[in-house]
Structure 1
Amino acid sequence: MAALKEKRTCGQRCEDFGHFVWDSDEGKFMGRTPEKWVYISLYYVSFYAVMTSLFSLAIWTLMYTLDPYTPDYQDRLASPGVMVWPDTYGEEVIEITYNTSDKASWMKMTKILNEFLEPYNDTKQLECNNYNCTKGKYFLQKHFLGPHHTKYSCPFLQSMLGPCSGFEDPTFGYNCSMPCVIIKMNRIINYLPTNRTDVAPYVNCTVLEGEGNVAKIEYYPENGNMDPSYFPYYGRLAQPSYVNPLVAVRFSLVGAKHAKIQCRVVSEKISYENYHDPYEGKVIFYLKALK
């Protein structure tokens, strides 16, 4: 019968570990001679240097082929989305509800609109975008002629929203039954909403429910037009001072003073019947004034 293996003490184990770390008889450190440690170290240094170089080369090649001004793939953005401000969302829908008798209620709406319109301040726009654009024509730019290798942007002034600019009426009509909403079309790089410049895209709002509660709908700028000079958009890097053209819509609420509204941007290349994307080309919201 094989002899039982002798049980080693803690001291003996420590002595074995110390002998493994440094074997003075054979001149080995942790099982290898200094010469072998030099060889294996050089191997791994060379291996990881080559791997790092290959990875860096792959990243450099990828970045070299990318255009920093235009995304390579934007096929999912065939038609832009449309948003409305004040952007007060319920569980599933946009609900713009306020109380004309409660100052805190309508002040909440005016605060949202004032914050949204800050970049459109007339002074800021004329400082950043002082290029004299030709209205009624697409602002096509092949070259980067703007400062710091950028392209020019057309100014959109807050005052162009007329009675809904916040200048004439700081409450935007929310202290009564004539509230203003602001419609914005989302950006798509190099997108042209029409094949012609003689017909500008425009906003059209219809009452889906509560038609008798809306006496009048007014658009600012006139006819709700989005001038072609704001298209195309060339990207944040190319046009750092660009702002979207806006359309303000003022509703005169009567009767029960609530309605379901659909506002869409009308243009030949903007679709709005996509069931899977309720914000493509249009936005639907509820507008209700309490008292």
Structure 2
Amino acid sequence: MATLKEKRTCGQRCQDFGHFVWNSDDGTFMGRTPEKWVYISSYYVAFYVVMTGLFALSIYVLMYTVDPYYPVYQDRLKSPGVMVWPDMYNDEVLEITYNMSDKHSWMKMSSCLQHFLEPYNDTKQSHCNYYNCTSGKYFFQPKFDAPKHTKWSCPFYQSTLGNCSGIEDSTFGYTTAQPCVIIKMNRIINFLPNNGTGMAPYVNCTVLEGQENVRGHVYYPENGTMDLSYFPYYGNLAQPTYVNPLVAVKFDLINQRHAKIQCRVMANNIAYQNIYEPYEGKVDFHLTALS
């Protein structure tokens, strides 16, 4: 019959551990001689140096072969999205509702538009985008001819938006029943509207509900055109001063002063019927003026 193993005291256990850490009889430290510790340490140092070198080499090759100005793979929409300002977005519908007699209400709308148009200030644009672009033609730039290895960007002046520029009327019509909204098409690198046919895209707004409450609307620039000289867009790194072309629409609300409106960017290669992307190629919003 096997004898029971004698229970060791705490002092004996500490003594055994100390003997394991340094064994003076064999000259070993934690079970290995100093010579073996040198061998194993050298192996792991060499192993991690090689692994670090391979990782650094792979990153270098990746960064060397990737074009910093154009993504190799894109999961963005092939057709650009469209947005409207003032941007009163929520989870379900887009509602631009204001009270003409409530200063806080209409100031909220006008302040939003003023802030949005700050980069389009005529003076700022004349300083940062001073290239003389040719209107009505695509602005192809195969080389980086602009300063600091960039490409030129065409200016878009705030004054181009006429009565909706906020220059003469800082309220953008929100103290009356003739408010302005601004339509912007999102950027897609190397995208050519109308697929390079030479026809400029334009904004077309239609009243989906409440036709009797809208007497009419006016576009700025004329005909709601987005000039071809703003296309193609080459990316933020290549065109750091680029600004999107805009179209402002001034509505004349009457009767109940409420309508559901759809503004669509018209071009033969801009889709607008994707039920999974409600803002692709168009934007729907409710416009209401309270008194």
> TM-score normalised to the size of structure 1?
0.98
Asked whether the 8 Å contact 2:258–2:289 carries over to 1, the reply is yes
C-alpha deviation, 1:53, in angstroms: 1.3
Structure-2 residue corresponding to 1:135: 135
C-alpha deviation, 1:90, in angstroms: 3.0
SS at the partner of 1:160?
helix
SS at the partner of 1:259?
strand
Task: Give the fraction of aligned pairs with identical amino acids, expressed as a percent.
Answer: 72
Structure-2 residue corresponding to 1:152: 152
C-alpha deviation, 1:274, in angstroms: 1.2
- Counterpart residue type for residue 73 of structure 1: Y
C-alpha deviation, 1:49, in angstroms: 1.0
Aligned-partner Cα distance in 1 for 2:248–2:9: 88
- Residue 42 (1) aligns with residue 72 (2): no
Structure-1 residue corresponding to 2:267: 267
- Residue 225 (1) aligns with residue 218 (2): no
Asked whether the 8 Å contact 1:79–1:280 carries over to 2, the reply is yes
Aligned-partner Cα distance in 1 for 2:61–2:212: 63
Change (3 A) 1:195 1:91: closer
Structure-2 residue corresponding to 1:210: 210
C-alpha deviation, 1:198, in angstroms: 4.6
Structure-2 residue corresponding to 1:109: 109
C-alpha deviation, 1:76, in angstroms: 4.4
Deviations 1:56-89 (A, max 9, x none): 1111111122100011123643210100000102
Structure-1 residue corresponding to 2:170: 170
SS at the partner of 2:193?
coil
Structure-1 residue corresponding to 2:241: 241
SS at the partner of 1:204?
strand
Aligned-partner Cα distance in 1 for 2:52–2:186: 41
Deviations 1:154-179 (A, max 9, x none): 00011100110001110001111011
- Residue 289 (1) aligns with residue 285 (2): no
- Counterpart residue type for residue 115 of structure 2: E
Deviations 1:93-121 (A, max 9, x none): 11000011110001001111111111111
Structure-1 residue corresponding to 2:69: 69
C-alpha deviation, 1:241, in angstroms: 0.2
- Counterpart residue type for residue 152 of structure 2: Y
- Counterpart residue type for residue 267 of structure 1: A
Q: How many residues align?
A: 291
Matches within 5 A, 1:249-260: 249-260=249-260
Structure 2's unaligned 5+ residue stretches are none
RMSD: 1.0
Aligned-partner Cα distance in 2 for 1:193–1:114: 28
- Counterpart residue type for residue 249 of structure 1: V
